[in-house]
Structure 1
Amino acid sequence: MENVELVTFMREHDGVTPEDASAQLGVSTRTLRKYVARANESLSGSAVVELSRGEGYRLRVLDQEDLDAWIAAQGGGHACLACKTSEERVNYLLNDLLMRNDWIKLQELSQALFVSKSALSGDLKKVEERLRPYDLVLEKRSHYGIRVTGGEMSRRLCLANAAIDASSATGASGVTGGLNTLVLKNFVGGGASKITRRCSMPSPSA
Structure 2
Amino acid sequence: MNSPIKILIAEDDLNIRQGLVDALEMAGYEVREAPDGSETLRLYAQWRPDLLLLDVMMPKLSGFDVCRQIRNGNPTLPIIMLTAKGEEIDKVLGLELGADDYVTKPFSLRELLARIHAILRRSRPPETPEAPPDGRFAFGDLQIEPDRLAGRRPDGSSIDFSKREIELLRCFAAHPDTVLDRQTLLSAAWEVNYGGFSRTLDQHIAQLRKKLPEQLIETVYGIGYRYVSRHS
Q: TM-score, normalised by structure 2?
A: 0.24
Structure that is richer in helix per residue: 1
Structure that is richer in strand per residue: 2
